[in-house]
Amino acid sequence: MKFLDQAKIYCRSGDGGDGVVAFRRERFIEFGGPDGGDGGRGGNIEFEAAENLNTLIDFRYTQHFRAPKGGNGAGADRTGAGAKDVVIKVPIGTQIFDDDKETLLADLDTPGKRVVLLRGGDGGFGNAHFKTSTNRAPRRADKGWPGEERWVWLRLKLIADAGLVGLPNAGKSTFLSVVSAAKPKIADYPFTTLHPQLGVIRLSMTQEFVMADIPGLIEGAHEGAGLGDRFLGHVERCAVLLHLIDGSAGHVVKAWRTVRAELAGYGGGLAEKPEIIALNKADAMTPREIAARKAALEKASGRKVMVVSGVSGHGVPEVLGALWAEIERARAERMK
- d(CA 305, CA 276) in angstroms, rounded, equals 7
* Closest among 50, 134, 122, 49 to 83, alpha carbons compared: 122
Candidate from 10-14, 123-127, 193-197 with smallest mean pLDDT: 193-197
The most distant pair of C-alpha atoms in the chain lies apart, rounded to whole Å, by 109
* pLDDT surpassing 70 at residue 229: no
The domain locations on the chain are: 6-156, 162-335
Cβ proximity of 163 and 172 under 8 Å? no
Name the fold adopted by 162-335. Rossmann fold (3.40.50)
Residue length, the chain?
336
How many Cβ atoms are within 10 Å of 258's Cβ, its own excluded?
19
pLDDT per residue as tens digits for the range 232-291 = 777 788 889 999 998 888 788 998 998 888 888 887 788 888 899 999 998 888 999 999
> What three-state secondary structure class fits 218?
coil
Pick the CATH number of 6-156 from 2.20.25.10, 3.40.47.10, 2.70.210.12, 3.30.56.10: 2.70.210.12
Quote the pLDDT of residue 23: 92
Cα angle, residue 71 at apex, residues 65 and 74 outer, rounded to 5°? 170
pLDDT in tens, 149-166: 999 999 988 778 888 888
For residue 6, the SS3 value is strand
- Percent of the chain past pLDDT 90, that is, above it, reads 47
Cα atoms in the Cβ-side hemisphere of radius 13 Å centred on 153: 13
What pLDDT is attached to residue 94?
92
- Taking the model in full, what pTM does it have? 0.75
Mean per-residue pLDDT, 212-230: 64
169-205 tens-digit pLDDT = 888 888 888 888 767 666 565 555 566 777 888 888 7
Distance of CA 192 to the CA centre of its chain: 24
Annotated binding site for Mg(2+): 173, 193
What is residue 1's predicted lDDT score, i.e. its pLDDT? 45
DSSP letter, residue 76: T
Confidence check: pLDDT of 226 > 60: no
User: By C-alpha distance, which of 123, 192, 141, 150 is closest to 47?
Assistant: 150
Residues making up the binding site: 166-173, 191-195, 213-216, 280-283, 309-311
Least confident of 87-96, 100-109, 179-188: 179-188
Nearest of 109, 119, 111, 104 to residue 43 by alpha carbon: 119
Known binding-site residue numbers for GTP? 166-173, 191-195, 213-216, 280-283, 309-311
